[in-house]
Chains A and B, each alone.
Chain A
């Protein structure tokens, strides 16, 4: 399964990210490397800097110091749109969906397709048919069979289905990096299974995936590599093959020290 190889150019790389909130050090020179076609789990205790790290990578927060590179080129994100333009999509823990709008509208929210010709350019009319068609195709490609009616309002969906819409949204539009922040935190067992399968499918289409999760068994089942965050810094990068869950917890809590990978 693991297609990761060190000589590849990372899809996304962070070097020495520093972020202070007042006197609180949220990120203390964090490095992160993510290769195409892999799932990198980011784990860490509360306050270890996971969220801040992810916010920096998705353009929500601007780091004080450090570099972010996409496919080897340095980038600067000032807004979430900048990150999206660079092909980085994020599924936030607070599901960023508009509940009253339908599935197709949600998938295309913020990047709607307009009709061709004067209807689109002068009257700015949306091409609802085309958006529905593409949305249906996207949903089908991801194998989300439970979403049948693309015109259904998102608020009528279950938690797992909403999450699937958010994942579908993030994986569409030519993104090559998908960041998922606690995608299964609010879900039941069956729905968690569906979302985990979605994440695997994303990886298998060649996208690079960052998965932030508290759920150790899921992390060990899915991840190719695991980035352990501790006290605002990267404590270690391990793999499910070389380390056990106990090792991961020990590194997370500081019971065991590792030389950075």
Chain B
């Protein structure tokens, strides 16, 4: 059955319907859509307020300093992980590469008496070379990043253990490589130079992702690689560069780790692979690629640390922290699903 309606009236009614003010849900959706770091930022603020109410120790600058210091390693690592996840990839080997790099730095400096700066540079080269292996396997042999890095996770972990021969290296106080663990104070805020390095990594990555063509290409490749290829972006080159840039962040994280454990420990950073992914996901970056901001991952890492610290101060079983992080991850992915469901 067809009905004939007056064309003008119909389109006027239609226009009115199309131009109706957005509902509250739509407005929230639109804001979260354009600001991926907003929801984790809200969670972080709420968590801080909550823990400040349960414990008067929490909001002391001394305690907050500790939280920030503890986040430096995973936070730096998460910056690198963000780049890879933005390309719709994932790096399960990122923590293993960091430990390998940190161990090489410490061993060269201590056992081989290589100058600290040189040992650092070799460690950086190792991290970048390891990421080049991941990147080449992903772009040239066209393996899924999950499989590639699952394999290299074992490979790099094994190399680390073979190289270390089960030994932990303790660097003498004052060694150049321990600089990242040295603290400085701003009032009663005590920070390590490792924290400064972490912030520098975030600043550089944020700039590169937001203000350079390379950054846009990273997003475009993660969003839709075929479309990116048709617009003339060299997809493989962008992918490889993301792995190499992540290698830089891993190298910095390795140096921060050396400062934190006071040398090289093959058993440090065991959970760093998954912790970095957790930070990125809680930080609002989509596992499907092309969506998110790097600063969100720092917020994500801070959220995990704040829960750890706050629950301990509240005198709760530390296992509740594990529980809380698990719930946060699922909540973050659910929010991402909702945000990505856009209707025209």
B213 interfacial contact with A, CB 8 Å:
yes
A125 interfacial contact with B, CB 8 Å:
yes
Bound CA span A29–B223, Å: 38
A side interface size, CB within 8 A: 34
Bound CA span A95–B226, Å: 10
* Contact flag A158-B344 (CB < 8 Å), given A95-B227, A96-B227, A96-B230: yes
* Residue among B207, B211, B212, B223 making CB contact with A100, cutoff 8 Å: B223
B179 interfacial contact with A, CB 8 Å:
no
Bound CA span A80–B234, Å: 10
Bound CA span A92–B33, Å: 27
CB contacts (< 8 Å) of B224 on chain A: these are: 97-99
CB contacts (< 8 Å) of A101 on chain B: these are: 216, 219-220, 223
Q: Across the two chains, which residue of chain B brings its CB closest to A161?
A: B344
Bound CA span A153–B223, Å: 12
B312-344 contact mask (Cβ, 8 Å, vs A): 1 or 0: 000000000000000000000000000000101
Q: Which of A34-42, A62-70, A108-116 contacts B (4 or more CB under 8 A)?
A: A108-116
CB contacts (< 8 Å) of A157 on chain B: these are: 344
* Contact flag A110-B231 (CB < 8 Å), given A98-B290, A124-B212, A124-B213: yes
CB contacts (< 8 Å) of A124 on chain B: these are: 211-214
Bound CA span A100–B33, Å: 9
A192-212 contact mask (Cβ, 8 Å, vs B): 1 or 0: 000000000000000000000
CB contacts (< 8 Å) of A96 on chain B: these are: 226-228, 230-231
B232 interfacial contact with A, CB 8 Å:
yes
B108 interfacial contact with A, CB 8 Å:
no
Q: Across the two chains, which residue of chain A brings its CB closest to B230?
A: A96
Q: Across the two chains, which residue of chain B brings its CB closest to A91?
A: B230
Asked if A155 and B219 sit within 8 Å, CB to CB, the answer is no
B260 interfacial contact with A, CB 8 Å:
no
Asked if A156 and B216 sit within 8 Å, CB to CB, the answer is no
B220-240 with Cβ < 8 A to chain A: 220, 223-224, 226-233
Asked if B233 and A155 sit within 8 Å, CB to CB, the answer is no
A105 interfacial contact with B, CB 8 Å:
yes
A52-85 contact mask (Cβ, 8 Å, vs B): 1 or 0: 0000000010000000000000000001110010
* Residue among B33, B211, B228, B232 making CB contact with A98, cutoff 8 Å: B228
CB contacts (< 8 Å) of A126 on chain B: these are: 211-213, 216
Bound CA span A124–B210, Å: 11
* Residue among B212, B227, B344 making CB contact with A125, cutoff 8 Å: B212
Asked if A99 and B223 sit within 8 Å, CB to CB, the answer is yes
Q: Across the two chains, which residue of chain B brings its CB closest to A83?
A: B232
Bound CA span A32–B224, Å: 32
CB contacts (< 8 Å) of A98 on chain B: these are: 216, 219-220, 223-224, 227-228, 231, 290
CB contacts (< 8 Å) of B227 on chain A: these are: 94-98
A14-30 contact mask (Cβ, 8 Å, vs B): 1 or 0: 00000000000000000
* Residue among B34, B216, B232 making CB contact with A84, cutoff 8 Å: B232
A159 interfacial contact with B, CB 8 Å:
yes
Asked if A109 and B216 sit within 8 Å, CB to CB, the answer is yes
* Contact flag A110-B223 (CB < 8 Å), given A124-B214, A158-B344: no
Asked if A100 and B219 sit within 8 Å, CB to CB, the answer is yes
CB contacts (< 8 Å) of B216 on chain A: these are: 98, 101, 105, 109, 112, 126
Bound CA span A245–B341, Å: 42
A151-200 with Cβ < 8 A to chain B: 153, 155-159, 161, 169
Asked if A110 and B232 sit within 8 Å, CB to CB, the answer is yes
Asked if B344 and A153 sit within 8 Å, CB to CB, the answer is no
Bound CA span A169–B231, Å: 10
- In the assembled complex, the CB of A188 is this many whole angstroms from the nearest CB of chain B, namely 12
Q: Across the two chains, which residue of chain A brings its CB closest to B286?
A: A100
Bound CA span A155–B224, Å: 12
Asked if A159 and B220 sit within 8 Å, CB to CB, the answer is no
B33, B213, B290 interface centre (most CB from chain A within 10 Å): B213
Bound CA span A156–B220, Å: 16
* Contact flag A125-B230 (CB < 8 Å), given A100-B219, A100-B223, A101-B223: no
Q: Across the two chains, which residue of chain B brings its CB closest to A79?
A: B232
CB contacts (< 8 Å) of B219 on chain A: these are: 98, 100-101
CB contacts (< 8 Å) of A111 on chain B: these are: 232
Bound CA span A57–B207, Å: 38
Q: Across the two chains, which residue of chain B brings its CB closest to A155?
A: B342
- In the assembled complex, the CB of B220 is this many whole angstroms from the nearest CB of chain A, namely 4
Bound CA span A125–B229, Å: 23
Q: Given A99-B224, A109-B220, A156-B342, output 6 extra A-B contacts at Cβ < 8 Å.
A: A98-B216, A98-B224, A98-B231, A99-B223, A123-B207, A128-B211
Identify 14 residue pairs between A and B in the complex whose beta-carbon atoms are under 8 Å apart, listed by A's number.
A79-B232, A80-B229, A81-B232, A94-B226, A94-B230, A99-B223, A109-B216, A110-B231, A110-B232, A112-B213, A123-B212, A128-B211, A153-B34, A159-B344
Can you list the 3 inter-chain pairs with the closest CB atoms, starting with the nearest? A96-B230, A112-B213, A98-B220
